[in-house]
Amino acid sequence: MRLLIIGGTVFLGRHLVERALAAGHEITTFNRGVHNPDLFSGVERLHGDRDGGLAPLRGRTWDVAIDTCGYVPRVVRQSSELLADAVERYLFVSTMSVYARSDVYGQDETAPVGRLEDETVEEITGDTYGPLKALCEQVVEKTLPGRALIVRPGLIVGPYDPSDRFTYWPCRCAEGGDILAPGNPRRAVQLIDARDLASWMLAMAGERKTGVYNAATPSGAMSMHDMLGACLRGTAGSGTLVWVDDEFLLAEGVEPWMELPLWIPERDGGENFLTEDSSKAVAAGLTFRPVEATAADTLAWARTRPHGHEWKAGMRRERERELLTMWSSRARLTEGKG
């Protein structure tokens, strides 16, 4: 295939290019040339800005365009309209965050998506991210009717992840000791290794697939306990998981999701967060490597980063020790009363 990858040097885009090269595809990347500009010397690299700077794409054709970094519908409209007559298919990477509700178990691709009262808003926040992505999907589908493939991943994890959300756990597990494990150990979680996602997306593109697909591990198949246990095994960690309940963490002001990645309190329907139905993608060939393998590879990559890397997610060790001491003291006090 002749592929145009919008992005292509950061995380998912990087894995896409690596796998496309290995498969012998002809690749063009389009980005600003800011991140990792020297990657992939054997790839045609076009530089520009997707917001008003698409001139390098004019007059060219490809089989498939893969858009890994569209967040604002006005901007996505520019690329989808310019490429409507230049590609056979347009694959847009969206997100499971498009759904209007996060407290419903097992939502499939037909579930309602979030809406914005003001659809001209372009500021990306926790509240607008999902609805903006939903609008981007609609732009692509309207511009290329019958030729759009919309992929809605869950939490994408693995090497090169700039968010540190999953990376925190393999690194923490490898350190050992008492590890603060948040919330209900049986609460379901979902994720997708970027390499599995990239390989499947390329296969779907090659088969000229269209439509909308959730892409993550099957709903309810993995618990937080399963995930952290896999991180311990994958990193040969000798630590002990100390499960601390939601109420204690909330009372101590711990920030869900980012300070303790993948932790969402179960109150207000949080127990159903990260439980979307991905059976359609599984039926279409999406497969998953063991979480142990993802954890091991993520740890190996994380150890190559510069010393003093500024973490974007995860709890400081001093804070963790403080909370574990408080939790242990509370447990002893409760036992004494019993």
Say if residue 73 is in the same domain as residue 183.
no
Alpha helices in the chain (DSSP H): 12-22, 73-83, 129-143, 168-175, 194-206, 224-234, 246-251, 279-283, 291-302, 317-337
> H-helix or E-strand containing 325?
helix 317-337
- Angle formed at CA 10 by CA 8 and CA 13, multiple of 5 degrees: 40
- The predicted model gives 231-239 an average pLDDT of 96
Residue 279 inside a domain? The answer is: no
Residue 281 inside a domain? The answer is: no
What is the per-residue pLDDT for 330?
84
At 75, is the pLDDT very low, low, confident or very high (cuts 50, 70, 90)? Answer: very high
What is the per-residue pLDDT for 308?
86
CATH for 127: 3.40.50.720
pLDDT-above-70 percentage for the chain: 98
What is the per-residue pLDDT for 337?
61
The answer to whether 265 and 245 are in contact (CB under 8 A) is no
Cα(203)–Cα(206) distance, integer angstroms: 5
pTM for this entry: 0.96
Number of separate domains in the chain: 2
Residue 197 inside a domain? The answer is: no
Instruction: Supply the range of the domain harboring residue 41.
Output: 2-153
Show the tokens assigned to 261. Answer: 């990645």
The answer to whether 217 and 288 are in contact (CB under 8 A) is yes
Say if residue 102 is in the same domain as residue 178.
no
Residue 135 inside a domain? The answer is: yes
The answer to whether 250 and 266 are in contact (CB under 8 A) is no
The answer to whether 152 and 95 are in contact (CB under 8 A) is yes
Residue 198 inside a domain? The answer is: no
Say if residue 141 is in the same domain as residue 178.
no
Q: Could you report the per-residue pLDDT of 173-194, keeping only the tens digit for each?
A: 999 999 999 999 999 999 999 9
Say if residue 94 is in the same domain as residue 173.
no
Say if residue 142 is in the same domain as residue 232.
no
Cα(103)–Cα(267) distance, integer angstroms: 10
Does residue 301 surpass a pLDDT of 80? yes
The answer to whether 88 and 145 are in contact (CB under 8 A) is no
Residue 159 inside a domain? The answer is: no
Say if residue 73 is in the same domain as residue 114.
yes
Say if residue 74 is in the same domain as residue 98.
yes
Say if residue 118 is in the same domain as residue 179.
no
Residue 206 inside a domain? The answer is: no
Say if residue 37 is in the same domain as residue 139.
yes
What is the overall mean pLDDT for the chain?
Answer: 96
Residue 210 inside a domain? The answer is: no
What is the per-residue pLDDT for 93?
98
Say if residue 131 is in the same domain as residue 252.
no
Burial class from Cβ neighbours inside 10 Å (0-12, 13-18, 19+) for residue 130 reads: buried
| CB-facing half-sphere around the CA of 185: CA atoms within 13 A | 10
Say if residue 119 is in the same domain as residue 181.
no
Smallest CA-to-CA distance from 295 within 239, 234, 210, 237 is with: 234
- The predicted model gives 256-265 an average pLDDT of 95
Chain-centre distance of CA 266, in angstroms?
21
What is the per-residue pLDDT for 336?
59
> H-helix or E-strand containing 156?
strand 156-157
- The predicted model gives 316-329 an average pLDDT of 96
Does residue 338 surpass a pLDDT of 60? no
Say if residue 68 is in the same domain as residue 29.
yes
> H-helix or E-strand containing 244?
strand 240-244
Task: Name the domain boundary from 153, 178, 202.
Answer: 153
Does residue 118 surpass a pLDDT of 80? yes
Show the tokens assigned to 164. Answer: 């540190």
Cα(303)–Cα(325) distance, integer angstroms: 28
